[in-house]
Amino acid sequence: MSKTVLLATEKPFSASARDQVVAIIKEAGYTANVLESYKGKAPLIEAIASADAVIFRSDILDAEVLDAAKNLKLAVRAGAGYDNIDTATAKAKNIAVMNTPGQNANAVGELVFGMLVYLARGKFDGKTGSELRGKTLGLHAFGMVGRAVATIAKGFGMTVYGFDPFVKPEVFAAAGVEAASSVEDLYSKSQYLSLHIPATAETKNSIGKKLLSLMPKGATLINTARKEVINEAELLEVFEARPDFKYVSDIAPSDATAATLKEKFDKRVYLTPAKMGAQTEEANVNAGLAAARQIVGFFEKNDRNFIVNGL
Ligand code: 3PG
């Protein structure tokens, strides 16, 4: 029987990326349904009810949504982080969950440097700023995004350190990145520290006073990872205690934290008005098409690469 694939993107892909995703689904002989720019959970619950597979981005696929997905066999996160899907409930319902690692890594990496240069140059206020060349950059986690950031950092002439307990020393060495001996060692060495850890039970609230206080004078923290990994109360304490500390983030903190950062520390903070990391034409195409192809491979060839929930 023909399959139905839902493309559910509250934050849509470009029209061209969407059309190419739909074309792959149709070429496989499947039905493509598109749900874009929707508001609230109800439209997703309705649309997912008839889907055999779904492609999604930061859309929330919680237990309530998965309960409604009576035919669903596969959910593909067009992107890297899959903390927005309840993977355990999916597993219990025999729904495989995949991501598309690396497909938007360059887009995120470029944004890191766009934000860094903007803040290092005082938000282009006409006064003397600073350069990135010769500075130290720490990468907290060395997955596909961390590696993209390392490549670009080399072009800027930065010295790059990395810490990732899941990555072998030779992988750091091959990328010209010096492996820090511990997470504390990484923060102590890094004038710029870029977060690339996922949001998990272990990492939530883990970036706070203890680590940030270790960073050298003039430190800048960069967050293109997840809001939840930051201990926001402690971040504000660090801002109070250190007039040299700066923060750039593509991930909106809570409204209260954002308001305090803006009111009290605006010169030392840059927050993107919307999450921009993966919002390039290229990343939309890369991640969207990879997701569509993974769905066809799963149904036609039982290709189970990229499954992240142990099925
Ligand atoms: C990811 O995990 O791939 C990024 O956070 C991108 O998220 P987005 O698809 O919602 O922009």
For residue 1, the CA-to-ligand 1 centroid distance in Å is 32
* SS3 assignment, position 311: coil
Q: What is the pLDDT of residue 171?
A: 97
4-103+280-301 and 105-271 share one CATH topology? yes
Q: Whose CA is nearest to atom 6 of ligand 1?
A: 278
pTM, to two decimals? 0.96
For residue 244, the CA-to-ligand 1 centroid distance in Å is 30
Q: What is the pLDDT of residue 285?
A: 98
pLDDT tens digit sequence for 2-49? 999 999 999 999 999 999 999 999 999 999 999 999 999 999 999 999
**Which atom in ligand 1 lies closest to the alpha carbon of residue 81?**
2
Question: How far apart are alpha carbons 207 and 222 in whole angstroms?
Answer: 11
Please state which CATH number belongs to domain 105-271: 3.40.50.720
Mutate to test the pocket of ligand 1, among 104, 197, 272 (most ligand atoms within 8 A of CB): 104
**Which atom in ligand 1 lies closest to the alpha carbon of residue 82?**
2
Question: How far apart are alpha carbons 297 and 85 in whole angstroms?
Answer: 21
**Residue 189 burial (CB < 10 Å; 0-12/13-18/19+)?**
buried
* 3-state SS, one letter per residue, for 181-230: CCHHHHHHHCCEEEECCCCCCCCCCCECHHHHCCCCCCCEEEECCCHHHE
Find the mean pLDDT for residues 277-289: 98
DSSP 221-267: EEE-S-GGGB-HHHHHHHHHH-TT-EEEESS---HHHHHHHHHHHGG
Superfamily name and number for 4-103+280-301:
NAD(P)-binding Rossmann-like Domain (3.40.50.720)
- Kindly tell me if the per-residue pLDDT of 1 is higher than 90: no
Find the mean pLDDT for residues 161-175: 97
- Kindly tell me if the per-residue pLDDT of 108 is higher than 90: yes
79 touches 103 (CB < 8 A): yes
For residue 17, the CA-to-ligand 1 centroid distance in Å is 15
Q: Whose CA is nearest to atom 2 of ligand 1?
A: 81
Question: How far apart are alpha carbons 271 and 235 in whole angstroms?
Answer: 14
Number of Cβ within a 10 Å radius of residue 21: 28
Find the mean pLDDT for residues 152-165: 98
For residue 282, the CA-to-ligand 1 centroid distance in Å is 13
Find the mean pLDDT for residues 144-148: 98
pLDDT tens digit sequence for 228-258? 999 999 999 999 999 999 999 999 999 999 9
Domain definitions of the chain by residue range = 4-103+280-301, 105-271
